[in-house]
A and B are shown apart, each in its own frame.
Chain A
Amino acid sequence: MIEIKQIEKIYVNGKQSTKAVGPVNLSIREGEILGLVGESGSGKSTLGKMLIGLEPPTSGTITYKGNPLWIKKKFKRYRPGEIQSVFQDPQSSLDPRMRIKDIILEPLLGLPRAERKEKGNSERLKQLIHRVGLQEEHLSRLPHEFSGGQRQRIAIARALVTEPAFLVLDEPTSAFDVSIQAQILNLLKELQTEKQLTYLFISHNMSVIRYMCERVAVMYKGDIVEIGTTHDIFENPQHPYSKKLLSSVLSVTDQENGSHAEAL
């Protein structure tokens, strides 16, 4: 579905240049959830941004269903609304002065008129808001009237309104407590199955990645150092960084303070 070839991102500041990504090769298959893990500054978010049109790559090509996404510095929408995103912090990704209804409908503004009408009709909007676990009466409210978890549901509804095929999810649950995290992960997984979506799931949380993804790519200092099935990466990591990452994961079942682990 997506082919990333020799992609590089270099930031230039005066005489200094910093390589954030690459060169990276990666393909994302239709219908899969591909996990992207790495430490802060490893370039995982930058890679995500190049897929949704927020950062042009310095060199290399990205094709979406065979069509190039970037022509020079211009992002080419093969079909508007086909690629969407959900970010970490719905506090900052929702305009505080807009009503929920307008927030959810906003992505339709980039669509042709007929499609905009069809996808923005009130029946569909009602279905969508229910689907993400909110009520119709919420549509006329403002973001500050909602909790963090509810705001993320709104951000998900906004991403879905254009009926996308591919979503970049950049740390979609990192700002939440585990109880809310579980609600959002369940919703994302259900939606993926129901609508046969493809996800690039960016996270630093290994247990979230393990639960959500079929394949995992490990990024380290701008490069993808390892890619494989979730099972292989977790059971038999090859790259030293993947090994270190996995050995640093804390588990509630193995305790060090004097007691031996027992099954929950």
Chain B
Amino acid sequence: MLLEVKNLYVDFEGMRGRTEALKNIRFTLEEGEILGIVGESGSGKSITALSILGLLEENAIISNGEIIYNGQNLLHLQKKERQKLRGKEIGMVFQEPMTALHPTMKIGKQLQNCLQRHRNLPAKEAKEAVLQALRDVHIDQPEQVANKYPFELSGGMRQRIVIALAMSAPPRLLIADEPTTALDVTIQYEILNLIQELNQKRGTSVLLITHDLGVVAKLCSRTIVMYAGEVVESGATKEILHHPAHPYTRSLLDALPDSVPPGEPLKAIAGETPSLLRRPSGCAFAFRCRHAMDICKKRHPELTEKAPNHHTACWLEGTAVYD
């Protein structure tokens, strides 16, 4: 096991009180796998990533839990030690490549800095390594691209550069937070293939965060579904997509435009995500749920194993209600 998040609670202190952004998050990531975290905006998926990276804002409070990476609890490390892990052990790719790149430094120089820092290469070897790093992310003319500034490149090219930077150490774990959301579908497809290839060729483990069920279907062997700061379901992607156990997961799949024939209304989920300032005492999804029972509004369901390696936090028995 490369990463284990145990009972993680994260709160934010704000003007209107305490927001419980993450509540009892737990999951594991095995060496070499691509694990997906899927959820809508406000579900806490990005906060989860930032907690692992140690990049939470100042007003965030980790009130409970452990993040075990490679046998050590990251939450016990000093700031300096965590900084050393970032980039070298844990690479990161975010949604908007332009904000991750230095706007006035040539691509080659940025990559060279990164490679020298992580691999202690002499300047001459670093130059060759830059070109190789660009070839690895399928950039055809590495010499020309190395000599360009980020603004001269397209969004898809920039995201390739960001991936090349993230892979420069190379890291054991790559955290990719909505890496293709800002890109056109054709480019998205190429970038996802690239991530898959890096995983298969180099064995890099990937934590992939997305709002798009199609992305986890393509890439992830296992998936975690988050809602309102909690894990509501986790298991093999195939199981989650074809036999969803939580009504929220089912509703998300049902709300996709291709789940009904044209002409029939879409199965929208009524209402909106609850405010995390006043978290309901029962299940956070209860008041939008078609199957809500009395107990759902009163008592909070815990994540339990409903089928082998398939966990869900729901009071309903099994998946019978859908089949």
Residue positions of A touching B, CB distance < 8 A: 39-40, 147, 149, 177-183, 185-186, 189-190, 204-208, 210-212, 230, 244-245, 247-259, 262, 264
Contact = CB atoms under 8 A, between A and B. Distances in A.
Interface of B: 34, 40-41, 155, 184-189, 192, 211-215, 217-221, 237-238, 241-242, 251-253, 255-260, 262, 265-269, 272
Contacts of B238: 255, 257, 259
A44 B217 CA distance: 29
Contact of B241 (A147, A180, A255): A255
B265 A255 contact: no
Contact of B252 (A179, A251, A262): A179
B interface SS class: helix
A257 B220 contact: yes
B220 A179 contact: no
B272 A180 contact: yes
Nearest to A175: B41
B214 A250 contact: yes
Nearest to B269: A179
A264 B212 CA distance: 17
A39 B269 contact: no
Contacts of A181: 255, 257
B35 to A, nearest CB: 12
Q: Residue among A39, A230, A264 with the most chain B CB within 10 A?
A: A264
A155 B299 CA distance: 39
Contact of B185 (A204, A258, A262): A204
Given A179-B251, A250-B212, A251-B214, A149 B184 contact: no
A249 B188 CA distance: 9
A207 B257 contact: yes
Q: Residue among B192, B211, B252, B256 with the most chain A CB within 10 A?
A: B256
Contacts of A182: 255-257, 266-269
Given A177-B40, A179-B251, A211-B262, A255 B257 contact: no
Q: Residue among A205, A207, A244, A252 with the most chain B CB within 10 A?
A: A252
A3 to B, nearest CB: 27
Contact of A255 (B187, B211, B237, B251): B237
A208 B192 CA distance: 21
A179 B185 contact: no
B256 A207 contact: yes
B253 A249 contact: no
Contact of A206 (B185, B242, B252, B269): B185
Given A250-B217, A264-B259, A178 B272 contact: no
A21 B8 CA distance: 52
12 contacts: A39-B186, A149-B272, A180-B272, A185-B257, A210-B257, A210-B258, A250-B185, A250-B214, A256-B218, A264-B241, A264-B253, A264-B259
Q: Residue among B40, B215, B257 with the most chain A CB within 10 A?
A: B257
What 5 A-B pairs have minimum CB-CB distances, sorted nearest first? A250-B214, A182-B268, A211-B257, A177-B40, A179-B269
